[in-house]
Chain A
Amino acid sequence: MAKRTMPVPAVRYERDANGGELLYRLRFRYCEKGRLAMLSHLEVAHYLERVVRRAELPFAITNGFSPHMRISFGGALPVGVGGTCEIFDLLLYRDVSPEEALGAVRAASVPDLLPYACERIDRRAKAASVAYPKSTYEVVFDRPVASLAVPEAVEVVRKKKTRVLAPADFLIEPPAFAGDTMTLKLVSKDTGSLRPDVLVRAMTAGTDVKVASITRTALAE
């Protein structure tokens, strides 16, 4: 009979004064552009985990039966929507300078999903997924558009259930138009959010305007 061997921890976490694990939190910003805007949130999350492993950063892992990387992601982008300011947070068991960490993850990335900034943040700061509820989207059409009406209600089907959302509840300000571009500012709420692509589809329904791209260009608290 084989002897049961407990997994040997390769690293001993440093402890703070209260005996807690001393971990370092880094926040990365990355872009998701080109054809990779067609990736789902889960696919991007999966990818970023592998980037961190390839970069050989000293990432912390969870305790328990199924240890996994202590990484967390910002608000999800719908499939087909790109981003220039997406974020993910990573907990490290050893302090690494943001410059060094950024260099390592960039070398392990593909060009259309490339981290471009990194900073140290407080371990107790808000989680990446709720840190920035306000998003700005740039919608590029196939032609100049002077204005489009915002419908009063949008029907959303999720998990076979239909919900009716009022865009006014989510729009921070009225959409702005300049040439072929529309700027949308949406806030996500605890009760849910309105996807920009769903709103744009509703706004362009009944017109022959086509959407060339949708990109999240700014995040705000």
Chain B
Amino acid sequence: MPQPTTDLWPRLRDLLPLAERPVRYLNHEFGSVYRTPEDDPADTSFVMVYPDTYELGQANQAIRILVNCVNAQPGMYAERAYLPAAEFADQMREAGLPLFSLESCAPLREFDAIGITLPHELAATNVLEVLDLAGLALRAEDRAEADPIVLGGGPCAFNPEPYSAFFDAICIGEGEEAMPEMVACIGAGRAAGKTRQEILEDLADIPGTYVPGFYRVLPDEEAAAWGYRVKPVNGHALPEIQKRVFEGFAQSPAWEPCIVPFADLVHDRLSVEILRGCTRGCRFCQAGMMYRPVRERSADNIVEGALDGLKQTGYDEVSLTSLSTTDHSQIKEILERMNAAVAGKGIQVSIPSQRLDSFGVDMSALVAGEKRGGLTFAPEAGTQRLRDVINKNVTEEDVFSSITAAFREGWRRCKLYFMIGLPTETDDDIRGIASLVTRVYEAAREVTPPDQRGRVRVSVSLSLFVPKAGTPFQWDGQIAPEEALRRVNLLRHSIKFRAIDVNWHDPATSFVEAVMSRGGRECCDVIEGAFKRGARMDAWTEHFRPEAWRAAAEEAGVDAEALAQRTFDLAEVLPWQHISSGVHLSYLRLEHKRAFKEQTTPDCSFGTCTGCGLCPDYGIDVETQEVRVG
């Protein structure tokens, strides 16, 4: 297919005075990569889309990584695209302006391939908004021969079934190598004059690629006999798709070129990924299962990369990101070297989360300088029993030692994350949260000098448990939204101090998350129905429309309550069973059983293998720089 040639800028420019924040659509940021006349016009064109606004998407690491990976390969190039704000999308529709890429302001439908990341369950209708604004058929089966191939991927791809109708192919797992392979495959297919069907067959041959159109959904009995909910109907499709792992992660450079935006982003700083994976094994956590195994970059790589990145971007803050930054075996050395290197330059080094022990607080103290904002901890559950159920290997002593250490170090505010509705939770566990938080507050006051005690604040943030595909709790139902609110109120009434405030997520959005997390192909109709009733930007409180979702589920004949709230039998064939994160199903079942016996499982990156099955299958191992101690 010829490369995009249409420049929509003149039309976009005329619309911009209507935009709330024109900066979202301007492009021309420092670090953007553009096509030049010397580039081969035959290169395969790819556009990577984040299904939300620029402020959220530009900060997303997946977009940055994948655009860089594709641009690094000969014979292809990548541009970026984001969804416009809802009001501006309406104005674009009215003006007949289709969704465009940023770099060349070209219509998305002129590209060879479109990649859409699936960052969370509430982005489902936004995927349709992207396709609709781009002027493409919502369903893959309705797309024309010459239409771009629509690729998906990201965290939600571990249960791709609710999205299966909308994507031509979905990449399962890490995309560093897979995405350029897919784009190359599409380019080669187009150059050879292959049909769309033939290109999809070639894509299905790439490891980790799921082509939903090549499978049929089986009735219950047949599924039980076959072992999966779907069965290949094309010779190129495999019965089970294994996720991709980027094995070169630890050795790859920590500095990945990035664009420096003009706009104020949600995470407006340089981020350097210092390690990937977390095997602490919290039983509700999907990221912990799907980014295995743990792979650490070296201190030299990280420090040099971060300093190089600061120099090239001009950022005044660098965040050392990962799922558990303070677990890095060289974190102390990294932070000390970073601190020394940026001293006196007005640059802040930050770490996104604190381990719940005094080591975590020591590390936070190292980077905080003289500024003591708030510290965030995630005990997740209020009683030791429930913390054992979820395998949050944290004792009450850990909680108190870290929080008193923080207040002794000068912090005056802390935020504690808890989840409610966890499997086996009772009212005693809810009261346990109140009791724990109250005692934390009292302990914090005790170690704070008397004249500063009035400033001590503890805030509690509650989220509702969402069963996630590929985790040991994937079989467990979510509690009903009304019950969630009852438990929130029980907690609020159990807390006596005004200095402790309680915040909670709207259970109605968590309900939709649970449906999307555990639904099968029948949910495609629900997403489409909700979108056609005006649902989009569901993650934005002001745009969330639960009634659209309810009506869509009813019309599609889907029992949404059952999908979200039913406890599945361990022997049941799950809608996403054909997608493997590498962690064996038998291990997930074992972990589920251990949970109900209140037995914990240690972290394999600190000790011996716990037998999840991934490393032997892939022929890889945990890669830490030094022995982890903790």
Task: Report, as a range, how many residues of chain B touch the other chain.
Answer: 35 or more
Contacts of B438 in A (CB 8 A): none
Counting CB contacts under 8 A, is A47 at the interface? Answer: yes
Q: Contacts A38-B16, A52-B314 known; A10 to B26 CB distance under 8 Å?
A: no
Residues 321-348 of chain B, each 1 if its beta carbon lies under 8 Å from chain A, else 0: 0000000000000000001100111100
Q: Contacts A38-B23, A67-B346 known; A47 to B262 CB distance under 8 Å?
A: yes
Stretch in A1-9, A118-126, A170-178, A185-193 touching the partner: A1-9
Residues 33-68 of chain A, each 1 if its beta carbon lies under 8 Å from chain B, else 0: 011101110111011011111101000011001111
Does the CB pair A43–B314 fall under 8 Å? no
Counting CB contacts under 8 A, is A131 at the interface? Answer: no
Residue in A closest to B316 when the chains form the complex, CB atoms: A53
Contacts of A36 in B (CB 8 A): 26, 28, 262
Does the CB pair A9–B343 fall under 8 Å? yes
Does the CB pair B316–A68 fall under 8 Å? yes
Residue in B closest to A36 when the chains form the complex, CB atoms: B28
**Which residue of the partner chain, among A5, A39, A54, A108, contacts B26 with CB atoms under 8 Å?**
A39
Q: For the complex, what is the distance from the CA of A65 to the CA of B439, rounded to whole Å?
A: 30
Contacts of A9 in B (CB 8 A): 343-344
Contacts of B312 in A (CB 8 A): 54
Does the CB pair A43–B344 fall under 8 Å? no
Does the CB pair B28–A35 fall under 8 Å? yes
Q: Contacts A9-B344, A39-B23, A42-B264 known; A51 to B314 CB distance under 8 Å?
A: yes
Q: For the complex, what is the distance from the CA of A108 to the CA of B313, rounded to whole Å?
A: 9
Q: Contacts A38-B16, A110-B28 known; A8 to B366 CB distance under 8 Å?
A: no
Distance between B261 CB and nearest chain A CB, rounded to angstroms: 9
Distance between B359 CB and nearest chain A CB, rounded to angstroms: 9
Q: For the complex, what is the distance from the CA of A143 to the CA of B363, rounded to whole Å?
A: 64
Residue in A closest to B31 when the chains form the complex, CB atoms: A110
Counting CB contacts under 8 A, is B248 at the interface? Answer: no
Counting CB contacts under 8 A, is B358 at the interface? Answer: yes
Does the CB pair A2–B365 fall under 8 Å? yes
Does the CB pair A8–B340 fall under 8 Å? yes
Distance between A40 CB and nearest chain B CB, rounded to angstroms: 7
Counting CB contacts under 8 A, is B493 at the interface? Answer: no
Does the CB pair A43–B23 fall under 8 Å? yes
Residues 257-290 of chain B, each 1 if its beta carbon lies under 8 Å from chain A, else 0: 0001011100000000000000000000000000
Contacts of B260 in A (CB 8 A): 50
Does the CB pair B343–A50 fall under 8 Å? no
Does the CB pair A1–B344 fall under 8 Å? no
A-B contact count (CB 8 A): 101
Q: Contacts A50-B313, A65-B371 known; A4 to B23 CB distance under 8 Å?
A: no
**Which residue of the partner chain, among B262, B313, B344, contacts A7 with CB atoms under 8 Å?**
B344
Q: For the complex, what is the distance from the CA of A110 to the CA of B313, rounded to whole Å?
A: 12
Contacts of B87 in A (CB 8 A): none
Counting CB contacts under 8 A, is A150 at the interface? Answer: no
Does the CB pair B316–A49 fall under 8 Å? yes
User: Which of B17, B262, B358, B369: most chain A CB closer than 10 A?
Assistant: B262
Counting CB contacts under 8 A, is B525 at the interface? Answer: no
Residues 79-112 of chain A, each 1 if its beta carbon lies under 8 Å from chain B, else 0: 1100000000000000000000000000011111
Considering the complex, which residues of chain B in the window 361-412 have a beta carbon less than 8 Å from any beta carbon of chain A? Answer: 361-363, 365-366, 369-371, 405, 408-409
Counting CB contacts under 8 A, is A157 at the interface? Answer: no
Counting CB contacts under 8 A, is A11 at the interface? Answer: yes
Residue in A closest to B405 when the chains form the complex, CB atoms: A1
Q: For the complex, what is the distance from the CA of A112 to the CA of B27, rounded to whole Å?
A: 11
Taking A35-B28, A65-B371 as known contacts, 17 extra A-B pairs with beta carbons closer than 8 A to each other, sorted by chain A number, are A5-B366, A7-B370, A8-B343, A11-B344, A35-B9, A38-B23, A39-B22, A39-B26, A43-B264, A49-B316, A50-B260, A50-B316, A52-B314, A53-B310, A61-B344, A65-B369, A69-B316
Binding site for B on A (CB under 8 A): 1-2, 4-11, 34-36, 38-40, 42-44, 46-47, 49-54, 56, 61-62, 65-69, 79-80, 108-112
Ordered by A's residue number, 22 sampled pairs between the chains whose C-beta atoms are within 8 Å are A1-B405, A1-B408, A6-B370, A8-B344, A9-B343, A9-B344, A10-B344, A10-B345, A35-B26, A35-B27, A38-B23, A39-B23, A39-B26, A42-B264, A43-B262, A50-B313, A61-B345, A66-B371, A68-B346, A69-B316, A108-B314, A110-B30
What 7 pairs between A and B have smallest CB-CB spacing? A10-B344, A50-B314, A53-B314, A2-B362, A54-B314, A38-B22, A61-B346
